Amino acid sequence: MTGAVERERILTVRNLKTYFRTPEGVVRAVDDVSFHLDRGEVLALVGESGCGKSVTAHSILGLVKAPPAKVDGEIVFGDRNLVGLPEKEYRHIRGKQISMIFQEPMSAFDPLYTVGRQLMEVAKAHMPWGDGEAKERIIDTLKSIHIPEPDKRYDEYPHEMSGGMLQRIMIAMALITSPDIIIADEPTTALDVTIQAQVLNLMQDLQSQYRGSIIFITHDLGTVAEIADRVHVMYAGKIVEKAPVAELFASPIHPYTSGLLTSRVRREYKGQDLPYIEGYVPRAYEFPEGCRFHPRCPKAVAKCSEVQPPEFEPAPGHTVACWLLEEGDDR
Ligand SMILES: Nc1ncnc2c1ncn2[C@@H]1O[C@H](COP(=O)(O)OP(=O)(O)O)[C@@H](O)[C@H]1O
Ligand SMILES: [Mg+2]
């Protein structure tokens, strides 16, 4: 996207905090997260397992249930704040204007009904279509994402399909209402590499066809390079770095981002599954003081264990929450 193109802001998340009360303590799964999404762009949310990516997605979709969860902050979609929106109103948004592609396709379908019937249910719940038109639109959608023999697929049950096919049907289900935003939560993790590539291509197609926006969630930076416009890196409930995709790969600044990139290259080189970065994501009810990454950070200094770093902006559109960027820093 160039500067000349008019940008339309479609979603603004401000100071989002999603906490869970548990017997072990309060889990601060998402802790003061802010970001925005423009129409037609693909925003990638990246980080190791347990960093709060899914909880962020579920918060946007109103799927986090209180109690024991508590959602604070603002999620502005169009001109409405979705935080605290009654379920009755959320139902008009979820699945219609904002839809989700889940990691495990089986969980999105009821094994007792044909996929056609389930697609029909979504279509008719949100669109002013009669049976005939709804079916036509569904078949068209299946065709548009290159599903072979869509009429035959329509009458099949979930268990009659491969995981990859079901994943594609789930994408069709998310598309049927031409949503403004699709949130794809690790949509390729359970798939083999060839099908992963197909699914990524489909998502790119749909983005250009519908000019929909995508929040693409993944722990794998490799898939991000191909599909995203901007990348936000999450660690322990916080966004630690935000950057345009090319800039993030060319000049990562946060030591956590660098670690993710280095371990990715190393894994590709050795062809084996190595841990990303030494150590583990701390459990969400016992985050350390100061910067949450400091116990694993090769560049940490005393201050890092004491005070949480603010967001610095070393280049326009590139922000980093790290004390390394403090002015006058001589490291
Ligand atoms: N319903 C819940 N109750 C308590 N803790 C939860 C709940 N859902 C998620 N969490 C915790 O929130 C943190 C973030 O989880 P999640 O967003 O699923 O991570 P990610 O998607 O990045 O792997 C984890 O520590 C997880 O255990
Ligand atoms: Mg997740």
Written as six digits, the tokens of 114 are 């044909």
Question: Distance between CA 212 and CA 203 in Å, rounded?
Answer: 10
The pLDDT tens digits for 114-159 are 999 999 999 998 999 999 999 999 999 898 878 899 999 999 999 9
pTM of the model: 0.90
Task: Provide the greatest CA pair distance for the chain.
Answer: 69
21, 26, 27: which to mutate for ligand 1, most atoms within 8 A of CB? 27
Fold topology of 9-97+177-325: Rossmann fold (3.40.50)
Binding pocket residue ranges, ligand 1, CB within 6 Å: 20, 22, 27, 29, 47, 49-55, 284
Q: How far is the CA of 280 from the centre of ligand 1 (A)?
A: 15
Strands (DSSP E) contained in 188-325 are 213-218, 230-235, 238-244, 312-315, 318-320
Ligand 1 atom at minimal distance to the Cα of residue 22: 4
Question: Distance between CA 35 and CA 293 in Å, rounded?
Answer: 20
List residues bridging with 86 in a β-sheet: none
Question: Distance between CA 16 and CA 30 in Å, rounded?
Answer: 7
The pLDDT tens digits for 262-290 are 877 655 555 555 455 777 788 888 899 99
**SS3 of residue 103 by DSSP:** coil
**SS3 of residue 225 by DSSP:** helix
- 83 touches 124 (CB < 8 A): no
Question: Distance between CA 276 and CA 279 in Å, rounded?
Answer: 9
Q: Does the pLDDT of residue 220 top 90, yes or no?
A: no
Domain boundaries, the chain: 9-97+177-325
